[in-house]
A and B are shown apart, each in its own frame.
Chain A
Amino acid sequence: MTTIGEYFLEALPLLLDGLISTLIIFAVVVAIGFPLSIIVASLKTIGPKWLRRVLGVYTWIFRGTPLLLQLVLVYYALPTIGVVLSDNLVILIVYVLSVTAYESEVIRGGMAGIENGQYEAAKALGMSRVQIMRRIIAPQAVRKVLPTTCSEAIILIKDTTLIAAVGEFDLLRHATSLVTSDFRIDAYVVALILYLIIASILTLIFSKLEKRYPASI
């Protein structure tokens, strides 16, 4: 029987392969979902009433239903209405929409906490509403919500395990297949360590960000 150390090295390549799906989803959500969340939060704050209502419904649906359900529903429903997208694209779209629903609410909350005087001062200087959001309100709101956003990011990493439900191989599913084929649970331990490493890196990055961009200077 191989030692746990040897097994670790043996299992690692396959698990890292699974990790790549997790990291791709994470990268796409950070690159698209985060900026989108800031835009959606801004529109929820200053957008026209009809748009605020539309975004409210969107948030209600994507926050109020399980990500797993959203994933399988969109994955299996889109082809039936004639929309054929690649599996990966469908998965990425659902993750971006789901995370944006949460994160835009977090950022909107941060925006609501910024005193009215900031808007008034910027308005008195002649800044447009878009400029006020982009240059004055959003930067302050994002700083305020960094700690909550860190939690959201870690939850996202763990939620990427759900892609197994639509047939994709993520870290956990690879681990499970190893566990069932090798009749030993070590692969789970390796997966656990990998998740913890990612969470630690994220926590570290966010604590650096919080120091670099403090909520109150």
Chain B
Amino acid sequence: MNQTMIKMIDIHKSFGDHPVLSGVNLKVHKGESIAIIGPSGAGKSTLLRCINKLETIDKGAIEIEGTVIAAKDEPGYSVAHKHEVKAALAKTGMVFQSFNLFPHKTAMGNVIEALLTVKKMNKAEAIKIGEKQLARVGLADKADAYPSHLSGGQKQRVAIARALAMDPDVMLFDEPTSALDPELVGEVLEVIRRLAEENMTMLIVTHEMSFAREVADRVIFIDGQQIVANASPQEFFDNPEHPRIRAFLEKML
């Protein structure tokens, strides 16, 4: 249970002159679900996107299950061989705020795309997995629907199924409900909650405080490019020590 899934060491990242992360350290254990919260523009999404190399880091190192996938100016760390990095990255799945479904493919087409192209499965095999994953998010009946014919909540559930189809060890959720109408948020959170119950390792950037409190094993608060708090939800929500956290929670709750 205490196996380290992700290790981030002294991560620094700026966009031009604008620093986004300044010395972030984070360890994620297997089976943990971690809620990442904090003010807008604090670097929450960037932190997540560094883990699957959608962003490069300026300094620091990142390990996924012991494989160094990114390292820069960090003594003792050097990036693993290309194939190992690729294999490690394949253990991550990501869900985006704006779903990013492929609009020219059906729900099933979206879910099986990477099974066909990346895992080189034959179509029958891929469809079997696709059916299972779509059922898992409650959309077995929408397999042939194009994204434009789905609601926001359904789109996001297809996106989750698409990521799960690749059988990841860790799921990265980048504000999965922020683009949804309020009445559609629940169905997506329900799917994520079930994943937490199945002990999926998850990092969830979210603004849903009650969800974070209920589902997360740990809450990480990022502000001013740094992790200000890294605590259990009880500790974090009931006893916020840091004045910046108190100010943030007062605004959010």
Contact = CB atoms under 8 A, between A and B. Distances in A.
A125 B166 contact: yes
A84 interface: no
29 contacts: A117-B98, A118-B100, A118-B102, A120-B100, A121-B94, A121-B101, A121-B162, A122-B102, A123-B54, A124-B52, A124-B54, A124-B94, A124-B163, A125-B93, A125-B163, A125-B166, A126-B86, A126-B89, A126-B118, A127-B114, A127-B117, A135-B113, A136-B102, A136-B113, A139-B104, A213-B104, A217-B103, A217-B146, A217-B149
A131 interface: yes
Contacts of A120: 54, 96, 100
Interface residues of B, number: 27
Interface residues of A, number: 20
A121 B100 contact: yes
A217 B148 contact: yes
Interface in A141-159: 143
A140 B100 contact: no
Interface of B: 52, 54, 86, 89-90, 92-94, 96, 98, 100-104, 113-114, 117-118, 146-149, 159, 162-163, 166
- Secondary structure class of chain A's binding surface, majority of residues: helix
B104 A117 contact: no
A118 B105 CA distance: 12
A125 B96 contact: no
Contacts of A122: 102, 113-114
Contacts of B101: 121
Contacts of A126: 86, 89-90, 114, 118, 166
A123 B103 CA distance: 16
Interface in A91-130: 115, 117-118, 120-127
Given A120-B54, A217-B146, A125 B113 contact: yes
Interface of A: 115, 117-118, 120-127, 131, 135-136, 139-140, 143, 213, 216-217
Contacts of A136: 102, 113
Contacts of B90: 126
Given A117-B98, A139-B104, A143-B104, A125 B92 contact: no
- Give 10 closest A-B pairs by Cβ, nearest first: A121-B100, A125-B114, A117-B100, A124-B94, A126-B118, A217-B146, A131-B117, A126-B90, A217-B148, A140-B104
Given A127-B118, A217-B146, 13 more contacts: A117-B96, A117-B98, A118-B102, A120-B100, A121-B162, A125-B93, A125-B114, A126-B114, A126-B166, A127-B114, A135-B113, A213-B104, A217-B147
